[in-house]
Structure 1
Amino acid sequence: MGFASPLLFLIANTWGRVAMDPFSQLILLISVVSFCTFQWLFHSVSPWASSRISPGFLKLNHKQKIEWNSRTVSTLHALLVGLFCLYILFFDEAVNQDPVWGDPTLVKINVSITTGYLISDLLLIFYYWRAIGDKFFVIHHLAALYAYYYVLGQGMLPYFANFRLLAEFSTPCVNQRWFFEVLGYPKVSKPNMANGVLMAFVFFLVRIAVMPVYYSRMCSVYGTEAFYKVSFGGRSAWIFSSICLDIMNVMWMHKIARGCYKVLLSSRRSKPESQENGKTN
């Protein structure tokens, strides 16, 4: 991971401008450890575990293996951060009572884990651009990091930062769809169809259906004293990143819904057929 050194230096240099109290040092440490851990999972753990759990992994070409490892790490991050997010949403009274300036301790820890992951993933995207390069993911990651800078650096908007992490629950199903596809599962196979329906449902639930809740809470604090204590840069990051991410969410939801509809429609027209590898429709 020698190529990661300049990036880690940049992280440390940026954080050096913020007052480094003990908790800030802990958050920086968590971000760096998160970055290194996800790099290790990508380069070492995923290839080792995947080759033993799924024999089909060994048959993939180089680019497919890169994306496989990237998506495996993505799934692990989503489950870890998503569960932590739910805990905060249900049990962190300080954040829920004061969504703008509530005690951000747990949120900062969760966001720092995600920050390490996002920087790690960005590095991998650029390094393996021919295999996993995607401009929309770059925009998504940069928009999220831009907003998280204010959460980690100034402790503002913890409720909204945590709420955004609910979206991670849709990631495992999205990745699983790709795993099925690259392993040769027919689109109308039962595992693929079940995952597709679940993916569309979860994606809608955690990224689209929650929009009214998110923006109504945003409107409820707009114009309050707490709102105006947030710097102009912080408010801009909050509003801009929210709109940017939700535009992409709507685009992705439309694409997922169309794909799910087409598969369900084609499954009704096709008859069950036995597959050579033992899978059945």
Structure 2
Amino acid sequence: MDIMSYQNQAEDLVKHYLLADQFLPYTSVLAGIFLCKMVYDLTELFSSIHIKSYSALTKMKRVEWNNRGISTVHAFFISFMAIYFVFFSDLFSDQTRLQGLMVFRSSPLSNFGLGVSVGYFLSDLGMIFWLYPSLGGSEYIFHHCLSGMGVAYSLFSKEAQFYAYMVLISELTTPEVNLRWYLDISGLKRSKAYLINGVAIFLAWLTARILLFIYMFYHVYIHYDQVVLMHTFGYLLVFVVPIALSVMNLMWFGKIVKGLKKTLEKRQ
């Protein structure tokens, strides 16, 4: 009876508090932070046992190795969530019969996904600040602050979640970028895998960070009558965040093209 009583109390705690609408944003952010810590520890454990080159790295390189494990797992998770909500879910569809305008729609699942992402941005920013500039310079801080602020606003205001997920699809490029670093640090810069990875980064970046952003600006244009009804701060974020990220994406894309061109020339 005592076990059943504790089980019922635990179920009530989860249902009425942790997963209740008013607490879900905070619960999901904490879950994101906890998952980042768990992935960091698991990456460290797995790499130290199964990857020979890991133990030969400096302490700072091992920290970055583990940190990139976090960003890779987050990228897979949030990209899956973003692709689902943008292309497959009826939640933000113009054809859906759900009440309310598209820019004001949300669901427990969409809130949870954004909350986990906010938890990741907070965790990664914490590590970048703590170890600055070993894990990234000012451009990474600017990118994370801008992205995290936009996602957090959508989470807590429940506005423009569709556009937040469209921007988060750009995380599709993160696993390829991290793999390139892993190959480089493992001494495989001249391998065929490194070349294939370069082509994959080029295609993924072009699709997720250039073409998709163009489509998002078009989507905002045809739904401007809804966007203009948002809170002023949210309205500004819909334009400021994607435009600023687009400028950074184009700058990085230029470096990707030059790097790929140099790699292909060396192969000839």
TM-score w.r.t. length of structure 1: 0.83
Distance in 2 of aligned mates of 1:142 and 1:104: 25
Distance in 1 of aligned mates of 2:102 and 2:184: 41
Partner of 1:190: 192
Q: Which is further off, 241-250 or 148-157?
A: 148-157
Partner of 2:157: 154
Partner of 2:12: none
RMSD across aligned C-alpha pairs, in angstroms? 1.7
Partner of 1:109: 112
Partner of 1:41: 39
Provide, for residues 67-94 of structure 1, a one-character-per-residue CA deviation record: whole Å limited to 9, x for no partner. Answer: 1111111101100111111121233212
Distance in 1 of aligned mates of 2:197 and 2:61: 20
Partner of 2:26: 28
Q: Given the superposition, is the C-alpha separation of residues 179 and 21 from structure 1 closer, same or farther in structure 2, using an over 3 Å criterion?
A: closer
Asked whether the equivalents of residues 54 and 62 of structure 2 are also in contact (C-alpha less than 8 Å), the reply is yes
Deviation at 1:104, TM superposition (A): 4.2
Distance in 2 of aligned mates of 1:176 and 1:236: 35
Partner of 1:83: 80
Provide, for residues 29-69 of structure 1, a one-character-per-residue CA deviation record: whole Å limited to 9, x for no partner. Answer: 11111112202322x21111111231111111111111111
Distance in 1 of aligned mates of 2:80 and 2:125: 23
Provide, for residues 99-141 of structure 1, a one-character-per-residue CA deviation record: whole Å limited to 9, x for no partner. Answer: 4123344322211111000000000011111421321111011
1:207 aligns with 2:209: yes
Asked whether the equivalents of residues 75 and 172 of structure 2 are also in contact (C-alpha less than 8 Å), the reply is yes
Q: Given the superposition, is the C-alpha separation of residues 28 and 247 from structure 1 closer, same or farther in structure 2, using an over 3 Å criterion?
A: same
**Unmatched runs of 5 consecutive residues or more in structure 1:** 1-19, 269-281
Distance in 1 of aligned mates of 2:254 and 2:127: 27
Distance in 2 of aligned mates of 1:70 and 1:219: 37
**Unmatched runs of 5 consecutive residues or more in structure 2:** 1-17, 95-100
Partner of 1:264: 264
Provide, for residues 190-244 of structure 1, a one-character-per-residue CA deviation record: whole Å limited to 9, x for no partner. Answer: 011011111111111111111221100011122x1x2232111111122111111
